[in-house]
Amino acid sequence: MKEKEYHGSCHCGSVQFKIVTDAPELTTCDCSICIRKNALMVKVHETQFELIKGEDSLTEYQFHTHTARHFFCKTCGTYPFHRKRVSPDFFGINVHCLEGFDIEGIPVRATVGAGMA
Ligand SMILES: [Zn+2]
C-alpha cells in the first residue's frame, strides 16, 4: 500500500489524531485486554503519529509490566491506540478509528500477547 496520512478519532470526537503509514500488515493480539476489545491494530512509529487534540480526554490503563500503555477516551470509551510493550517507540493504532482506511487485502498477523504476558 502507498504511504498515506489517515485521520483518526474516537466515537465522540474528543480525541483526534493522525498517522502516516503504508500499512504493510495488521495485527490482532490475544493478550487479555486486546481480546476483550477485539482490536485490529496497525503499528506506526511515534514520529508518524500526531495527537491533534484530546490529551485531557484520554485515560490510561496499565497492567502487568506497566510498559504498554493503553489509552481510551473517558467520555465514549473508545480505544484508539496504545503504546506497545515490546517496542515502546511504536503506537498500535486501532484501524477501526481511522477514516477511510480500507483493510481489504492487507495481511493480518495474529501476535501472541498471551504467551508473552
Ligand atoms: Zn470519545
Residue 33 included in any domain: yes
User: What per-residue confidence (pLDDT) applies to 117?
Assistant: 40
d(CA 25, ligand 1 centre) in Å? 26
d(CA 15, ligand 1 centre) in Å? 6
What's the number of domains the chain is made of?
Answer: 1
Residue 117 included in any domain: no
Please report, for the domain that includes residue 50, its CATH number.
Answer: 2.170.150.70
Q: Which residues surround ligand 1, an ion (CB under 5 A)?
A: 10, 12, 14, 73, 75-76
Structural domain boundaries enclosing 17: 4-111
Q: Let me know if 65 is exposed, middle or buried by CB neighbors in 10 A (0-12, 13-18, 19+).
A: exposed
Residue 116 included in any domain: no
The span from the CA of 27 to the CA of 7, in Å, is 19
SS3 content of the chain, % helix, strand, coil (to 5): 15, 40, 45
Give residue-wise pLDDT tens across range 78-99: 999 988 777 779 999 999 999 9
pTM for this entry: 0.84
- Largest Cα–Cα separation, the chain: 36
User: What per-residue confidence (pLDDT) applies to 99?
Assistant: 97
Give residue-wise pLDDT tens across range 34-54: 778 788 999 999 999 999 999
d(CA 79, ligand 1 centre) in Å? 9
The span from the CA of 91 to the CA of 88, in Å, is 7
